[in-house]
Amino acid sequence: MPTKGEKVVQRDDDFRKRRGHLAHLSEDELYQRFWQLAEQVVEPMAILARTHTSPSIERSVLLRMGFSSIEAREIVEGCLKRGLLGKGAGHVVWRLAQMEGITIREAGLQLLTGNGWDRITAFFQGGASR
C-alpha cells in the first residue's frame, strides 16, 4: 500500500504471455505437468535423504517409533555393525516386523536380544532396497 505522496506504479499484466506454453493443455494435462515439475524439485532432496543419514538421525527415527533412547542407540549400533544404517534403522525394524508378522515394537525388541539380525541382514544383502 503506497503511503501519502507515493505514486502507484501499475504492473503490466503479462499473465497471458507467460502462460502461452500451457494454454493448449487440458486440466488433466496441467495436473500431470504440475506433478512432473514437483517431482523434479523434490528429487534432489529425496536422493539426499536416501544417501545421507547418520546415527543421530536414525536414533531420532526410532525414538519416534516408540523406542527408548537406550533401545534406539543399541539398534542403531547393530545396524552400523552390519552395514545396514544406509537402509534406515526404522526401515530395518519395520521390515523385520513385516517379515515375521509381528509388531514394530516386538521386532525391535527381538533385535535388541540379538535375534533376527541374520535374517534382516540377508534380506537387505539380497538386493532389496528402500
Q: Domain of 81?
A: 53-125
What does the block give as the cell for 85?
544404517
Q: Are residues 77 and 65 in the same domain?
A: yes
Q: Are residues 57 and 104 in the same domain?
A: yes
Asked if the model's pLDDT at residue 1 lies above 70, the reply is no
What rounded mean pLDDT belongs to the chain? 90
E strands along the chain, which residues? none
Q: Are residues 64 and 81 in the same domain?
A: yes
Q: Are residues 119 and 58 in the same domain?
A: yes
Any idea what the CATH number is for the domain that residue 82 is in? 1.10.8.1000
Q: Are residues 111 and 72 in the same domain?
A: yes
Q: 71 near 112, Cβ under 8 Å?
A: yes
Residue 5 within a domain:
no
HSE-up (13 A, CA, CB side) for residue 67: 29
Percent pLDDT > 70 in the chain is 95
Q: Are residues 89 and 29 in the same domain?
A: no
Domain count, the chain: 2
Residue 6 within a domain:
no
Q: Are residues 75 and 27 in the same domain?
A: no
pLDDT digits (tens, 9 = 90+) for 74-115: 999 999 999 999 899 999 999 999 999 999 999 999 999 999
Q: 107 near 116, Cβ under 8 Å?
A: yes
Percent pLDDT > 90 in the chain is 70
- Helices 89-100 and 104-112: crossing angle in degrees, nearest 10, is 110
Q: Are residues 57 and 121 in the same domain?
A: yes
Q: Are residues 25 and 72 in the same domain?
A: no
Residue 7 within a domain:
no
* Cα–Cα distance measured from residue 117 to residue 92, given in angstroms and rounded to the nearest whole number: 9
Q: In this structure, what DSSP letter does residue 116 have? A: S
Residue 115 within a domain:
yes
- Helices 69-81 and 104-112: crossing angle in degrees, nearest 10, is 70
* Cα–Cα distance measured from residue 119 to residue 34, given in angstroms and rounded to the nearest whole number: 42
